[in-house]
Amino acid sequence: MDRSDLNLDLDKINRAFAGEDPRKLLAHVVEKIGPARIALASSLSIEDQVLTQMLLKIDARARIFFIDTGRNFQQTYDLMEETMGRYEFHYEVYAPENSELEPFLAEYGPNAFYDKVELRQKCCELRKVRSLQRVLSTVDGWICGLRREQSPTRQEIGLLEWDSRHAIYKVNPLAAWSEEQVWAYIRRENIPYSSLYNKGFRSIGCQPCTRAVAPGADVRSGRWWWEDPSKKECGLHPSLNPPAKEEEKR
C-alpha cells in the first residue's frame, strides 16, 4: 500500500480516541495500516511492555522491534527473553553498523557522551537513530510508548502524529496516561517488567546514561542527568507538533 493512499485524518482520529482505551486506537491503526506495515518500537520500558501485551492480543502477527545499542543493561536482555517466552513471539532486533560506530569510538573513546552534548547526540545517532531509520523504511507507521508527563519535550504529543522526517504515521496510544495508570495495568495484567524499576529507575536506556532517581523526581531525570533537561532526547523522538496539516502529508 502506498502511504499516500492511507490518508488518515489526524485531527479526526485524535478527537475520536481522546479519553478512550488505548487498545481501541491500536486496533484502529493496525486495521487501517495493516500488521505487516506498522511496528511497535520497544525499549522494554513499562510503557512498551503494556503496548506489547495489548498489540499481541489484537494481532499475534504484530511486528515489535528492539534497538540493541550494545550498551543496554543485562536486565533488559533478561526481560526480552522473559517477554518472548510469555507472549510467544520474537523481537526484530536492530544493531549499529560497526563500520559507522568504530571510527567514532577510535576518535572519541567509549565514554565520549559524558564530554559534551554534541558527542552524546552523535553516539545516540550511531547507536539508535540510524538503526531506527532502517526499520522505519519498512513500515508506514510506528507505535511508541511516549507519554506527555514524561518530560518537557513530550508535553504536546498527540495520539496520532505525522512524522515528516520519516514520512510515516507515529502512534502514541499512551500519550494521556499517567505513570500510575501504566503501573495499574502492569499489575492487573501481570505483565513482566524490568527489575531495575524496583531499584529506583523510572526510565531505562543505555547503562552508562541511565541511573536511579530520588522519589518524586522527574520521570526522565535519570537519563543523561548531566545535561540541560530541554536537550534530553536521543533523537528518536523529536517534537512533531503542531501536527502536520493534510496537505503537508501529500
**Residues annotated as catalytic (active site), given as ranges:** 234
116 within 8 A of 153, measured Cβ to Cβ: no
**Is 123 annotated for ligand binding?**
yes
Q: What gap in Å lies between CA 94 and CA 153, rounded to an integer?
A: 26
Separation CA 24–CA 16 (nearest Å): 10
Q: Is 206 annotated as a binding residue?
A: yes
232 close to 220: Cβ distance less than 8 angstroms: yes
CA–CA dist 92, 238 (Å, integer) = 23
CB 58 within 8 A of CB 26: yes
Rounded-to-integer distance, Cα 112 and Cα 242, Å: 34
The grid coordinates of residue 80 equal 526480552
Alpha carbon 227 to chain centroid, angstroms:
21
- Is residue 124 a known part of a binding site? yes
End-to-end CA, the chain = 15
Q: Spell out the SS3 assignment of 60-90.
A: CCCEEEEECCCCECHHHHHHHHHHHHHHCCC
Kindly give, in sequence order, each residue whose CB lies less than 8 Å from that of residue 164, ignoring residues fewer than 6 positions away.
240, 244, 248, 249
**DSSP code for 143:** E
Q: Which residues are annotated as a binding site for [4Fe-4S] cluster?
A: 123-124, 206, 209
